[in-house]
Amino acid sequence: MTRAGGRLFPVLTWALVLLAIWLWAQDVTAGRLPLGGVGTPWSVADGDAGLPPAASPLSGSAPPSTLEIESLGVRADIVERGVDAAGGVEPPPFSSPELVGWYAAGPTPGAAGSAVLVGHVDTDREPAVFYSLSTVEPGAEVLVTRADGAVAEFTVRGVDVVERAEFDAERVYGPRDPGRTDAELRLITCGGTFDRERGSYSANVVVTAYLTGTAT
C-alpha cells in the first residue's frame, strides 16, 4: 500500500486507476507516434547518472494549477478529476485535449507519495498535450505550479512504455522505494500502437519524476 495525503491507498485503488486509463484510451491518430525509450525508471538512484538528490516533500495539499515541461514545449492547465461511473479516473474531456488531469483523490504534486497526472496523446484531429511525452529524457525538468504559489520542481528519472499485459499497477503507482516517503510524480498517456478494431492503444507511456526543489 502507499501513503498519500495522510491516507492509505490500497493496490485495489490503483487497479481502478489503471482500469480507467485503459477505458479512456480511445485516442486515434492518423500519424506515427514519437518513439520513446523503454527504460526502467526505478533502477536509477538519486544522484546516479548525474541526477540531483531528492528534496523533502512540501507541506500542505494545495492543488496543482499548471504543468510545464520546457524540453517538450508543454505548458498546460491542470484540472481536478475524480472517478467516473465505472469507478475509475475521469480524464480531461476530448474537447479539451490541451488539458492535463490530476487524480485529486491521490497525493498533491510535491507532497509525499506518488501524484498522478494524465493527458491524452492525440485526438482524431490533432496531437494532444502529451503527444511527445514518450520522448522526454531523464534529467528533464518538470514544473508544477500549485494554488499556494509554490512551484514544485521535479526531475525526470525515467520513461517506461508499458504493454497492457505487463502493466503492474502497484509498481507504476507505488513508491520506487517503499521505505521512503519522497514526493514523486507519474505522468501517463497512451502509447504503443493503435488498434482501430478495439479503439485503444496497446500500451501506456509512464514517466516517473521526483521532487528536487521548490520555487515561489
pLDDT at 89: 62
Which amino acid, 175?
A: P
Q: DSSP assignment of 81-110, as one string?
A: E-B-TTSSBPPPPTT-TT-EEEETTSPPTT
Residue 105: strand pairing partners: none
From residue 177, how far is each of 41, 43, 51 by CA, in Å?
Answer: 12, 10, 17
Residue 156: strand pairing partners: 209
Q: Percentage of the chain with pLDDT > 70?
A: 62
The upper half-sphere exposure of residue 89, i.e. CA atoms within 13 Å in the direction of its Cβ, equals 30
pLDDT at 10: 41
pLDDT at 98: 96
94-121 pLDDT per residue, tens: 899 999 999 898 899 999 988 989 999 8
pLDDT at 108: 93
pTM, two decimal places: 0.78
pLDDT at 20: 47
Window from 12-21, 83-92, 172-181 with minimum mean pLDDT: 12-21
Average pLDDT of the residues of the chain:
76
Q: Report phi then psi at 16, rounded to 5.
A: -65, -40
If one compares 28 and 147, the residue with the highest pLDDT of the two is: 147
For the segment 148-172, the average pLDDT, to the nearest whole number, is 79
Q: Which of 187, 210, 196, 208 is nearest to 21 (CA)?
A: 187
pLDDT at 50: 82
pLDDT higher than threshold 90 for residue 3: no
From residue 132, how far is each of 72, 138, 186 by CA, in Å?
Answer: 7, 14, 15
Domains of the chain, earliest start first: 2-215 (2.40.260.10)
Helix (H, G, I), strand (E, B) or coil at 161: strand
4-63 pLDDT per residue, tens: 333 333 444 444 454 444 444 444 444 444 544 444 444 444 455 689 999 999 988 899
Distance CA 51, CA 18 (A): 29
